[in-house]
Amino acid sequence: AQSVTQPDIHITVSEGASLELRCNYSYGATPYLFWYVQSPGQGLQLLLKYFSGDTLVQGIKGFEAEFKRSQSSFNLRKPSVHWSDAAEYFCAVSPNAGGTSYGKLTFGQGTILTVHP
C-alpha cells in the first residue's frame, strides 16, 4: 500500500526566508504527486502537481517542487516566504495506473508553517 511521510510537523521561518517542506512516499512505481495548502478553517487548495515529464514543477503563489525518483521525494520550496503563506501544507500521492487504488489520494500528516515578521 502507498504511504506518504511529512517528517516535519511544524516549521517556523522568518518572512523573506527560503522554505523547504519535505515529503517522502512509498509506492512501487512513480505515482502522481500533489501538494495542497489549507488555511485555517478552509478547504484544501491545489498548489502544484506532478504527473510526468520535467521533474521540477512550478505552482501557484511562487511555489515549486522537485520530484526525485532515487529518493522517493517530492519536496516543496519557495525562495522567499510571505506572511500570507502561513498555513498547513499537505503532500499527497495517487497511483498512476489502473487497479483498485487508482484515483485514491493518500495524504501525509501535514506540516504547519508559521511565519514570523
Partner 1 sequence: NAGVTQTPKFQVLKTGQSMTLQCAQDMNHNSMYWYRQDPGMGLRLIYYSASEGTTDKGEVPNGYNVSRLNKREFSLRLESAAPSQTSVYFCASSELRGGTQYFGPGTRLLVL
Nearer to partner 1, 53 or 117 (CB): 53
DSSP string over 18-83: -EEE--EEE-SS--EEEEEEE-TT--EEEEEEE-SS-SEEE-GGG-EEEEEGGGTEEEEEESS--G
Nearest distance, CB of residue 101 and partner 1, angstroms: 10
Tell me, rounded to whole angstroms, the distance of Cα 117 from its chain centroid. 24
Nearer to partner 1, 16 or 103 (CB): 103
Binding footprint of partner 1 on the chain (CB under 8 A): 4, 9, 32, 34, 36, 42-46, 49, 90, 92, 94-96, 102-110
Nearer to partner 1, 14 or 52 (CB): 52
